[in-house]
Amino acid sequence: MLERFPEDLLGDGGTRTDAASILARFEIISNFDVTPPLISASLVEDTGSSDNDFLTNNPTISGTVEDISLITEFKAGFDDALEADFVDVLGQLQEDGSFNFDAAIIQEINNNTELSQGEHTLKLTATDVVGNKAETFEFTFILDSENPDLIINTPVDDGFINGRSNLTGNLEGTGSGLASLSYRFDQGELIEVTVDENGNFDQRFDVTGLSFDEHSLTLIATDEAGNITEETVNVTVQELTSLRVTGTTPLDGATEIGSTFRPQVFFSEPIDTSTLNENNFYASFAGQKLAANIVPGEDGTFAWLFFEETMPNASLIQVTVDGSTITNLEGSSLDADGDGIAGGIQTFSFTTVSLEPIPNTTITGFVLDPGPDKLPFTEDDFDAGADGIEGTEDDIFLLPIAGAEVFILGLEEEEKVITDEQGRFTLTEVPVGNVKVEVQGMTATNAPEGFYFPEMVMDVNIEPGVENFIMGMEHIYLPRIDHEILNTVTASETTMIMAGEARCARIKRRRKK
C-alpha cells in the first residue's frame, strides 16, 4: 500500500517508493490562477445627508483587495495622476486583504499634498504573484471639511433684545449646501431659523419664558457635509416698552408739502412734555436744523414743530425724533424706532412744493359771502341773471367779500393781493405743481355786523401758462362765523369752551333737514 506523501514533495510525473520498496508514478493536476484582483473602496464616514451621497468631512477611505493568490503590487493615485506616478501602498494591505487610508496616507498618495476641498477620484491598481493585474479601480467622493461661514448682524454681543427684536445675519456654505440653522438661549431647546436662497436670515426672536435678564444666545449652523459652526453672544432681554411713536404727519416720503406746514408726531401714551427739546425733536435741511418752536398737545400725546420761517421750497426736509431723552410721566424712555426697546432714533422726510414763479401762469377768482342763511348759491347771495340759468355768464353774486388777503403760502412776502369790491383777485406768475393758497377772511372790510370770515388754506394744482382756479371753480365762499362763538382765553387759567346758542340752533336746523 502506498503511503500518503505531502503534496509539496511531489511534482507532475514524479516517483515515490513506499516502505515495501514498491515504486509508483504519480500524475499531479494543478489549477492555475488567471483571475485579476478584485478591488473595492468606500468612505469610512459618509457624513452627508444620506449614507451613499459620497459627501464627507473626513477623507479616510477603507476597502479590500480580494485574490486567491498573493498580492505583490498595490498602488494608488488621485484625480489626474498617471499610473506611472501612482504611490506604492502595498504596506497598507493587511493579511486579510483589507486596507485603511487615513489622512496621512491620503496626503502621501496626493503627492504629499493635503487634499483640497471638493470632488476627488481615488485610483487603485493591484497585481498578484502570478501577474494578474486588476483594471484601475476608481472611487469618486466630495470632500468638505470646512465649517460654514456664519455672520450675526443682530443682536450684537452684550446687546439688548425683546419680543419685537429680530435675529439677522448671513450663513454661507464653504463647499456643500446648508443643512440647518438654529438658536437657543442658555441651555434651552433649539429653535429652527429660516435661511433664504441668498443665505440671509431675519427672524423674530421667541423669548417666551425668558427672564428680563442676561442670557447667552448660541447659534448652531450645520452644512450638508456635517460641518458645524457655533457662535455665542451675550444679550440682555428687556421688557417691551409701551411708549412708542404711533404716527407722523406728513408721512415719510410725502411730496408737495406746503412750506409753512407744521410737522407733527403722535405718541402711544402721554409724554412728559418738559423732556421735549431742540436736540430730540427737530427738522433739518441739508444737515442744518431749522429754527422752530416745539408745541406739544395739552394731553401729551402729540407735538408739533412751528417754524420761525417758512421751510425752503422744493427741498427735502428731514424730521428727527430721538427717543433716548423723551420720556413718559413715569420716566420710561420713548421707543422712537419701533424695535420695542426704549430709545432709538426715528427720522421721516418729505419734500416741499416749488415756489419758483412761472410767467403767464395765474390764479384768479372771486371770494364770496354765503349770506344770512350761511348756504352758498341760495337766493340771499346769488341771482341766476336774465336767462334764469345757473352757471352762465350773466350770473350775479350778490355778496362779494372785499379786502380779503390772498397769497401762496411761502410767498406772502413776495406777492399778496387784496380782493376788490367785486371780491375779485388775481395772483400772477405763480409756481406750477401743487401749492397752498390762503384766503385770509379776517382782513375783509365788509364783514356783516356780528360776524367775521375765517382764513382758509386750499391745495391747488397749477398748470403752467394758463389761468387757474382754486378747486377748479372761479368762486370761493368763506363761511360766516358768529362772534358769539368766540371765547377769551388766558395763559394762566383753564378756559372751558362751549358751543353758544347760535351754534346749537344751527345744529338743530340741520338735524331737522
CATH of the domain at 165: 2.60.40.10
Domain check: are 369 and 478 in the same one? yes
In a domain, 506, yes or no: no
CATH of the domain at 71: 2.60.40
Number of domains observed in the structure of the chain? 5
Domain check: are 171 and 262 in the same one? no
Identify whether the C-beta of residue 76 lies closer than 8 Å to the C-beta of residue 126.
no
Domain check: are 139 and 153 in the same one? no
23 vs 30: CA distance, rounded Å: 23
List the chain pLDDT tens, one digit each, 513 residues: 444 445 444 444 455 555 555 555 555 545 578 999 999 999 999 988 888 899 999 999 999 999 999 999 999 999 999 999 999 999 999 999 999 999 999 999 999 999 999 999 999 999 999 999 999 999 999 999 999 999 999 999 999 888 888 999 999 988 888 889 999 999 999 999 999 999 999 999 999 899 989 999 999 999 999 999 999 999 999 877 789 999 999 999 999 898 888 999 999 999 999 999 999 999 999 999 999 999 999 999 999 999 999 899 899 999 999 999 999 998 989 999 988 788 899 999 999 988 889 999 999 999 999 999 999 999 999 999 999 898 888 899 999 999 999 999 888 888 999 999 999 999 999 998 888 899 999 999 999 999 999 999 998 999 999 999 998 889 999 999 998 888 888 877 887 776 656 555 554 444 444
The Cα-based distances of 363 to 347, 369, 436 in angstroms read: 35, 20, 12
Q: Which residues pair with 164 in a beta bridge?
A: none
Supply 28's cell numbers: 499531479
In a domain, 379, yes or no: yes
Q: Which of 295, 320, 352 is the last residue of a domain?
A: 352
Burial class of residue 485 in the structure, from the number of CB atoms within 10 Å of its CB (0-12 exposed, 13-18 middle, 19+ buried): middle
Q: What is the pLDDT of residue 245?
A: 95
The range of the structural domain enclosing residue 430 comes to 362-483
Domain check: are 468 and 373 in the same one? yes
In a domain, 420, yes or no: yes
Identify whether the C-beta of residue 352 lies closer than 8 Å to the C-beta of residue 313.
yes
∠ at Cα 278 (273, 284), nearest 5°?
130
Phi-psi region of 118 (alpha: psi -120 to 50; beta: other; left: phi over 0): left
Domain check: are 163 and 120 in the same one? no
Q: Which of 143, 174, 205 is the last residue of a domain?
A: 143
Q: Which of 203, 237, 271 is the last residue of a domain?
A: 237
Residues in the chain: 513
394 vs 193: CA distance, rounded Å: 76
499 vs 464: CA distance, rounded Å: 45
Domain check: are 101 and 184 in the same one? no
Domain check: are 278 and 231 in the same one? no
The string over 452-471, giving b where at least 16 C-beta atoms fall within 10 Å of a residue's C-beta and e elsewhere, is ebeebeeebebeeeeebebe
Domain check: are 416 and 464 in the same one? yes
Domain check: are 381 and 450 in the same one? yes
Helix (H), strand (E) at residue 125:
strand 118-128
Q: Among residues 363, 339, 338, 372, which one has the least CA distance to residue 439?
A: 363
